[in-house]
Structure 1
Amino acid sequence: MYKSFRSVSGMAARASKLARQPIQQQQQKRFLNIHEYLSVDVMRKYGINAPKGAVAKSPEEAFEVAKRLGHFSNGYKGGVKTFSTPEEAQYLAEKMIGHNLITKQTGAEGKPCNAVYICERKYARREYYFAILMDRQSAGPVLVASSEGGMDIETVAKENPDAIVKLPVDIKKGLAFEDAKELAKKIGISNVAQEDAAHTFMNLYKLFTERDATQVEINPLSETNDHQVLCMDAKLNFDDNAEFRQKEVFELRDFTQEDAREIAAAKYNLNYIGLDGSIGCLVNGAGLAMATMDIIQLHGGKPANFLDVGGGATPEAVKAAFEIITSDPHVSSAFVNIFGGIMRCDVIAEGIIAAAKELDLNIPLVVRLKGTKVDEAKKLIAESGLRIFAVDDLDTAASKAVNFSSIVTDARKAGIKVQFS
């Protein structure tokens, strides 16, 4: 019996790319992503079969887990390491634990690998793809399955779209056994295993609805040589809005795999998206955020992030937003672009002034405010005595933010300290 060895951080980072097919625009965007080994634990509670395995957080634990699982086989396949002895498991764990795993999904900096997942490897007679997603077009969940599992599903969709079968489900009626069995038949599961596959699909659907999942992805779903249906891996995402009723699931969240700035922003109900530029952007609303980034780039700059304060931010939240923006050492200027509707400009101004005073901001700050209570906001800024560059025109404000960023960046390279406050 083969055993395999996987980096936990890599499995947590690998997201389903099937959503880039026509279903993409219907899939929810807010989700909790948990490690694969934790996803397997959740599935087992629903009677879903998966290979035996355990997590090791040190090379020594990897050795002990490997011994408990029995015999191993040598070799490599993709991101999964296979090996023949517990000593090899220990050696591989030493190379992985404590280091960053870098993949296409993690970005250049990678994600920290704090543990490895060691599991048995079953002989697969055939491999399939299975997923459940939310589909707005059919106003409910959709099951997506394919006879071509264990590979990039978007490659299958591109090269052989007929191999992908979709089954919309009426969320009021649920998934019927007959429909689940017919789906198993369509993707080529053998006659003797179709009932087992149907029960697996139904259990996965039950997990999907009861746990407020936004995605359940199994790739591959395998039929073994003795016709067992096994989920060989697991990718589960859960709706952030359901946290209040899914406490057990959300306790599985691993903050080490997330951007610390995004975590800090969430505490104040702010939305933070990190980018790779040098201009920190504080905005309200996704549309204005996109326009702000576009005009910065039009003037030759690059946004370092955008931080959306939404419509209900307090001065304390705005101050926290500046702390998050300026925590990025690459930020060399900050651009505040607010259209006051529900969000009042004077509240933003109060937060900006508090941040400039308490955080001792040493980068140039360009502020452009329009809308509700804008006159009061301008008065607060003017009377603050702080070096805040208030500009009414968006084009001019963006140009200043870019120019200031260039000055500070050049000064830093030359070892010159520039003071703007």
Structure 2
Amino acid sequence: MTLHTLPKRAPRLRAPLTRHFTTTPRTASYADTLPNLKIGAHTRVLFQGFTGRQATANVKESLEWGTKIVGGVKPGVEGEHLGLPVFPSVKVLANEHQAQERAKPDASAIYVPGNQTAKAIEEAIEAEIPLVVAVAEHVPIHDILRIHSMLQTQSKTRLVGANCPGIISAIGKCRIGFQPLPCFAPGNVGIVAKSGTLSYETVASTTRAGLGQSLCISMGGDVLAGTNFVDALNLFENDPDTRGIILVGEIGGTAEMDAAEWIKDYRRRTVDPKPIMALVGGLEAPPGRIMGHAGAWAAPGEPDAQTKYQALERAGAVMVNHPEKFGEGMKTLFANQSSRPGTNQISGTSSQKRGFHTMRRITPISRPTGGHKRSLYIKQFQAFDILKQKSVPVNETASSSDSSISVSITVDRTALSPCIIASSTSESNPAQSQKFPFPYTQTKFQSSTIAAVASHLGLPASSHKQLAGFVQALWEIYKEKESFTLETQIAMSAGGTLEVYGAHFGFDDAAFRSSGRQEDIHKLWDTSEEVAEEVEAEKDGIVYVKLEGEGSIGTLVNGAGLAMNTVDALTIHGGHCANFLDTGGKATSETVKASFRVICSDTRVKAVFVNIFGGLTRCDMIAEGIILAFRDLNMKVPVVVRLRGTNEELGQKMIAESGLPLHAFDGFEEAAKKVIALAKDQ
């Protein structure tokens, strides 16, 4: 079968993104729940999953710190735990006057596994609890899509998370989540972040600078966030406790671009705007990879990390390349602000320094994407088989032409719903693409939606019916098989039929791993064709990505965001990283040892850089793991260890007294320069 060209059409350029931020009264909506984020000493916190091990430890810490916890829920059980009431269900709190009088929760902390998280959130929404904080990882994407379809129809409950450390008021001593309390101090800097470990680094930096924090909000690392950057910025703008704002982003989605638009608008309409600083992790992340966090990947047409960085910088945010620079940087901005009493803020960036970079800037390396790699995408022939089961015309011998188009279904992270992405080219070029969000609960597409997609693609009216059938089939696959993205390239056959000649299908790993669903899809992953080290590392709960090129520095980091930033910052210093490695936010001495094993299996590695922020992870435990690895693995390569956070002095002392070729630092730049020099000397 041969293909001939689709109808010729003029290039269609997408209009620039324009957003208007207004305080004009409107109908009640999810946006009205924004004030619920302003937690403090008054906030009465309920725990769902109250009697579990993690929740119990967290409750003890939070109570001691000053958080007002009023009890918890354990299905079917009523009694006491830690001297606090246990309720049999959240529904009891909503329906029984007596229970409401006893508990009256303002917020619920959800401490249940990922496969139970959506059900727990749903119960809290039905009970109209004002704030719900979900901390679990591995919540299936389609579970959260269903939750967001509920959230958008109500105006009582606000969600933070999932897959996040939570929200914490340092001023009000209210912690709803698992943030490391020793890092925090009451102050006036508002922080919103995607990454947990990067946010802890940021908090510690502002604490060391004597600034402290007002409110710290985590977006979380999932695809769909209950509270995003713009939500937090809107709150911080009018918060009298917040004098300066810090935003920590990373690859995946468009939240940083939305934040940049907000910042531009804010600086235009405000006489004396609060200083805003930012960081974007993943400048060196290889394209097409999922970098530790479930949401750290780019859908068709989404911007890369460098584009986000530049957008925030142009908007007026002061950019840094490492979180330890935030504290002194914000102190400088406060001093500059105080030294110009009575002066009006000039729009744009002229009143703020452009960035706090004390090192040379290097254009991110374009890394090749060939070869084996751990991926959640199935092979094209497998995607074709799935399309054929839905009677979608497929041409496996065709190739791209100038008139090919692209139609995808993926997640719109801003609209918090699925969407069609239509591109008038075979690739999802942002300039040629348009999003068409639709409700998750939708079963059939409206003819007006199909007409709008066809119009953007330049398709004739005669093809609308076929396009509708094709899009409907894609949506059914997306929902039935719990996909996160279905990308297709299409052309028209000689008989005038739309045919798929290219397909890139990705499916949600969490649906199987946490909930046991989609086993047939999960079996399509052939580990024999993946990078052996990456597969082996996953068995130990480690996320390892082998980077292409001349990488001579192995990296070992706790936390996905911090791991991305570590690779970025070492590259900016002139280093060449061999890998991305995230031990997880709760690294142990055993996972550190396993990490060294996989890092040193790469013969390119001449030196290892360990970058640990001991928030939940104790630095002395990491030091023990490093010492054990040296002794048990007979390691020959030098190791530079940068330890900050909990028990950092003890950890550094253990390394210094070990008698092993280890180099301990607390500052990032000194440590980075040392490991780069060692790698060059080997």
Whether the 8 Å contact between 2:454 and 2:460 is mirrored in structure 1 is: yes
Are residue 357 (structure 1) and residue 631 (structure 2) matched?
A: yes
Kindly state the Cα deviation for residue 342 of structure 1 after the two structures are TM-superposed.
Answer: 0.9
Percent pairwise identity: 34
Q: Which of 1, 19, 24 pairs up with 2:301?
A: 19
Residue deviations 1:199-247, cap 9 Å, x none? 2211101111222212111112x34333433322211111222233222
CA distance in 2, matches of 1:184, 1:294: 38
Kindly state the Cα deviation for residue 182 of structure 1 after the two structures are TM-superposed.
Answer: 2.1
> Which residue matches 1:103?
none
> Which residue matches 1:224?
493
> Which residue matches 1:259?
531
Distance 1:21 1:309, change over 3 A: closer
CA distance in 2, matches of 1:392, 1:190: 64
CA RMSD, aligned part only?
Answer: 3.5
Whether the 8 Å contact between 1:31 and 1:239 is mirrored in structure 2 is: no
CA distance in 2, matches of 1:377, 1:136: 40
Whether the 8 Å contact between 1:34 and 1:254 is mirrored in structure 2 is: no
Residue deviations 1:338-357, cap 9 Å, x none? 11001122221222122111
TM-score w.r.t. the length of structure 1 is 0.66
Residue deviations 1:8-42, cap 9 Å, x none? xxxx99x99842459x98xxxx9611110001112
> Which residue matches 1:394?
668
Are residue 207 (structure 1) and residue 477 (structure 2) matched?
A: yes
SS of equivalent to 2:502: coil
> Which residue matches 1:145?
422
Q: After superposition, where does 1:270-419 map in structure 2 within 5 Å?
A: 270-275=542-547, 276=549, 277-297=551-571, 299-382=573-656, 384-408=658-682
CA distance in 1, matches of 2:569, 2:2: 55
Paired amino acid for 2:545:
I
Which sections of structure 2, spanning at least 5 residues, go unmatched? 4-287, 290-296, 309-373
Paired amino acid for 2:475:
Y
Whether the 8 Å contact between 1:272 and 1:307 is mirrored in structure 2 is: yes
Residue deviations 1:139-176, cap 9 Å, x none? 11111224x45x3442xx54xx4xx4432111123442
Distance 1:362 1:121, change over 3 A: closer
Higher helix share: 1
TM-score w.r.t. the length of structure 2 is 0.42
Whether the 8 Å contact between 1:184 and 1:198 is mirrored in structure 2 is: no
CA distance in 2, matches of 1:223, 1:247: 34
SS of equivalent to 2:469: helix
> Which residue matches 2:412?
135
CA distance in 1, matches of 2:375, 2:595: 22
SS of equivalent to 1:281: strand
Which sections of structure 1, spanning at least 5 residues, go unmatched? 4-11, 52-118, 409-421
Q: Which of 385, 391, 394 pairs up with 1:41?
A: 385
Kindly state the Cα deviation for residue 376 of structure 1 after the two structures are TM-superposed.
Answer: 4.2
Paired amino acid for 1:230:
E
Distance 1:201 1:352, change over 3 A: same
Paired amino acid for 1:341:
G
Greater RCO (Cα-Cα under 8 Å, separation 6 or more): 1
CA distance in 2, matches of 1:166, 1:294: 31
Paired amino acid for 2:600:
T
CA distance in 2, matches of 1:169, 1:31: 27
Residue deviations 1:369-403, cap 9 Å, x none? 12223344345435544332223343332222122
Whether the 8 Å contact between 1:212 and 1:238 is mirrored in structure 2 is: yes
